Amino acid sequence: MFKKRNWRPAQNEESEDEPREIKDVEKARRRTFDRAVNLLTYKPRSENELRQRLLEKNWTNAEIVEAVLAKLKEYNYLNDEQFAREFAASRLRQKPIGKRVLKQKLGLKKLDKETVDAALEQAFEETPEADVIERAIEKRLRLKGKPQTREDSKKFYDYLLRQGFSYDLVSSKMREIAARDYDED
């Protein structure tokens, strides 16, 4: 009945190896720069994310995109290290997640490994993972209450692992919770 529409334009039929022929280079450069700034106003992006989005358009080519990216770096509108640090800190403020999940989310932003590792190190230096897991535990206890059965404890344990916390950290925190329950009885 209704045709499903994808918000992204269809990929061009031309191969990636063939250079695109641009008739008015200056106009293409201006349009590419304007599109880049527009995309960055909606949300911060990594250099590779922005490159990919700019190359979607058939009125630009890799040479123009690289020149635009260089100009954006010069204006300090594009900085992968700063983007990664701010992204990691923001995610930790929004929701308590562990290193593994945060590393995955940063990886999806097409950042290189060194940048991701540096951002993780700084984020967890400012907010230690032990503090983050405490927030996750408090939230889970507030929503679900203390685990009453072995099955509840298993679900709680699995929840913390899915949030990206390390096995050792989760195990020690679960023992603390069990000890608290035992002390209260």
Rounded distance between C-alpha atoms, residue 102 and residue 133, angstroms: 13
40 and 49 Cβ atoms separated by less than 8 Å: no
pLDDT grade, residue 22 (50/70/90)?
confident
Which tokens is 51 given? 């490159």
pLDDT grade, residue 28 (50/70/90)?
confident
The pTM of this model reads: 0.76
Rounded distance between C-alpha atoms, residue 119 and residue 79, angstroms: 13
Range 152-165 average pLDDT: 92
Q: Which of 14-28, 98-112, 165-179 shows the lowest mean pLDDT across its residues?
A: 14-28
Q: Over 50: is that where the pLDDT of 52 sits?
A: yes
Q: Over 60: is that where the pLDDT of 8 sits?
A: no
Rounded distance between C-alpha atoms, residue 92 and residue 61, angstroms: 37
pLDDT at 5: 55
Rounded distance between C-alpha atoms, residue 131 and residue 98, angstroms: 10
Residue found by looking up tokens 């280079």 in the block: 25
Q: Over 50: is that where the pLDDT of 47 sits?
A: yes
Render pLDDT for 118-151 as a digit per residue (tens, 0 to 9): 999 999 999 899 999 999 999 999 998 888 889 9
pLDDT at 25: 82
Render pLDDT for 78-93 as a digit per residue (tens, 0 to 9): 999 999 999 999 999 9
Which tokens is 160 given? 């913390």
120 and 111 Cβ atoms separated by less than 8 Å: no
pLDDT at 67: 93
Render pLDDT for 99-126 as a digit per residue (tens, 0 to 9): 999 999 999 999 999 999 999 999 999 9
